[in-house]
Chain A
Amino acid sequence: MSLAAEAFVSQIAAAEPWPENATLYQPLKEDQILLSDSASSLAVQTFLRMCGLPVLVSCRANAEYMSPSGKVPFIHVGNQVVSELGPIVQFTKAKGHSLSDGLDDVQRAEMKAYMELVNNMLLTAELYIQWCDDHTATEISRPRYSSPYSWPLNHILAYQKQWEVRRKMNAIGWSGKSLEQVYEDVSQCCQALSQRLGTQPYFFSKQPTELDALVFGHLFTILTTQLTNDELAEKVKSYTNLLSFCHRIEQTYFKEHERESQSGSSRHSKGSLP
């Protein structure tokens, strides 16, 4: 969103309270959604639950095209449509709900830096594995991404998306990396997160913040998604404090929906944590 639009949205947002029928849109859960989108979506859902804001999850095949920025997930609240975690955090802040008010300046700097770390390394690694690794792209990503569409549109859209992601990888210098190097980067990122978390319940002592939501979203999705091999999940599992962190957040914020998610689990997602 441009600056002017953001200011405008914040002004309007501040005027109304959070409605009951706020909806979050994401691609189809069973057949279409991919690892990176699922992680982002879960991060937003976790954040809203942490704030105590109710939201309905609606799965649509064209969620990506409905989104104002082209990225999922996005929320439809009252008259506004806001996509991606960053702008959603600002939007909820304008409505008076914030998780990071209690932090001082240095802590806020660190929180933003770690959120960028997750976006820079984890999200990019997920995108790389999905679209730049030929095996995964052929077996999982392309079939899933194009499942709602008929021939020949499915092929065109899938290859277009793959090409777009590969160009991005090229621009940021990841195209020269091998799969092992990417796994190594994921491991480094998890190590950094693990060291920052230490033995605390959340990243900034007792209260969860948007950083916790983001990390939970990504790690939980990595642990519960079946890819062509388990190496990514293994990298995350080797950090025990991150595992217990994920368990804790799942228990605290998702336990009443656990039964629902288990009964609705698909081939792609393994449901709850092992």
Chain B
Amino acid sequence: MALFQLTARLQPGKGENLRTQYSAFSRNPLSSPPAYARFAGAPLKIHKICNPWRSPTGSLPALRTKDEGSCSQPSQIIIQLRKQKYNADFDLSAKEGADMLAFISLLEERLLPALIYALWIDPKNYVEVTRRWHGENMSFPLNFFQPGRMQNRQLERLRLIRGNSSLEAGEEAEKELYHDALECLNLLSQRLGSNKFFFGDSPSSLDAYVFGHLAPLIKIRLPNCQLQQNLKNLDNLNTFCCNILSLYFPSESKEGVNRPMSSTQQGSDFDNEPYKRRKQLLSVLVAVAAMLSYALFTGIVAIEHVQEGEPIGPASLRGPSHEEEED
């Protein structure tokens, strides 16, 4: 089984903190499948790629299994993993299973719209964090228009989810969405109490969903997000996320520390190799084409139509005289 997820290209010296945080928790449901997979102990091969078109389904995250093909929706991915007998919800009672469904619905109705707003619609966050990250990690020429398209799609999605077709980035929408999200966070905090996980001592898919939704809020430093401040006040949710990070994603929680040291040592040219070569080739071609066209237009080089049978002499000497004769 292989799991494809979005990640950053290694580029030395460009806003490393930003990138390391964002790469680990880029899109909210993104982290639910890998988290669930780790909870259930599924042996997954994780492919980190930058270009969504390279994934088997055309979007990320995506899971590919030998028998069942590929799927992209987080809930589908979790169902697939369960079919392969990697089930983190085995020990749950019937009532706990029911509660889990209910809280997942709560998350999707209340918290997800606010997350979409904070990451994609809020102008400051979008320009400084989201668009910059996506632009840096996409190849030319996609990085110019793809983030804009993604933003439009997210705005559309937000409008449809909230049923409000005139929703725009602004204080009113922000207040409403954050108010609902804060209520949801408070409810989650009350439900979690002082337990380690939502249901007992071992994590379940609800923990994966909650982690997937909360991790971006906790880890990505957004310049304009009231919700982040409010979340910092809910200690038990913070502890919950840090716990899961340290237990199940130790490599990624250390990335932020090690990256500044190792990137200068590693030849990151190797990772850049395909794009760098392509860029070089492209720029050389463009330069040659520009020079050729300039030469042609100003007459330094002239292309002659020579009829068959006539002697073809050196173009630079005979060129003008041939033309005179034909005229």
Contacts and interface: CB of A to CB of B under 8 A. Distances in A.
Contact of A188 (B101, B109, B176, B190): B101
* A interface majority secondary structure: helix
Interface string A1-22: 0111000000000000000000
Residue from the set B101, B108, B176 with the largest chain A CB neighbour count within 10 Å: B101
A116 interface: yes
B102 A172 contact: no
B160 A113 contact: no
A101 interface: no
Contact of A106 (B94, B156, B163, B191): B191
Contacts of A173: 73
Contacts of B99: 110, 113, 196
B44 to A, nearest CB: 22
B132 interface: no
Nearest to B159: A171
Interface in B77-111: 94-95, 97-99, 101-103, 105-106, 108-110
B110 A116 contact: yes
A243 to B, nearest CB: 18
A3 B105 contact: no
Given A2-B176, A3-B179, A109-B190, A195 B102 contact: no
B161 interface: yes
B102 A116 contact: yes
A167 B160 contact: yes
A112 interface: yes
B187 A196 contact: no
B60 to A, nearest CB: 15
Contact of A116 (B73, B106, B161, B163): B106
A195 B163 contact: no
Contacts of B97: 192, 195
Contact of B106 (A112, A167, A172, A193): A112
Interface string A168-188: 101111001000000000001
B157 interface: yes
A218 to B, nearest CB: 14
A113 B108 contact: no
B68 interface: no
A95 to B, nearest CB: 21
B12 to A, nearest CB: 38
Contacts of A121: 101, 105
A113 B105 contact: yes
Interface size class of B (residues with CB under 8 A): 20 to 34
B308 interface: no
A167 B109 CA distance: 17
Interface string A88-128: 00000000000000000110111011101101110000000
A114 B101 CA distance: 8
A176 B71 CA distance: 11
A191 interface: yes
B102 A192 contact: yes
A109 B161 contact: no
B323 interface: no
Residue from the set B106, B156, B175 with the largest chain A CB neighbour count within 10 Å: B106
Interface size class of A (residues with CB under 8 A): 20 to 34
B325 interface: no
Interface in B193-209: 193
A195 B175 contact: no
A69 B102 CA distance: 25
A120 to B, nearest CB: 4
B175 A3 contact: yes
Nearest to A119: B109
A111 to B, nearest CB: 9
A48 interface: no
B172 interface: yes
A264 interface: no
A119 B94 CA distance: 21
A173 B157 CA distance: 10
B252 to A, nearest CB: 27
Contacts of A59: none
A134 to B, nearest CB: 21
Given A3-B176, A106-B190, A195-B97, A113 B156 contact: no
Contacts of B109: 116, 119-120
Given A2-B176, A112-B106, A116-B106, A193 B98 contact: yes
Interface in A67-96: 69-71
Contacts of B105: 113, 116-117, 119-121
B222 to A, nearest CB: 21
B190 to A, nearest CB: 5
A134 B249 CA distance: 46
Contacts of B183: 112
B102 A113 contact: yes
Residue from the set A108, A110, A168, A189 with the largest chain B CB neighbour count within 10 Å: A110
Given A2-B176, A120-B108, 9 more contacts: A106-B193, A113-B106, A116-B105, A116-B110, A120-B109, A168-B160, A172-B161, A192-B98, A195-B97
6 contacts: A110-B102, A110-B191, A167-B160, A168-B163, A193-B98, A195-B97
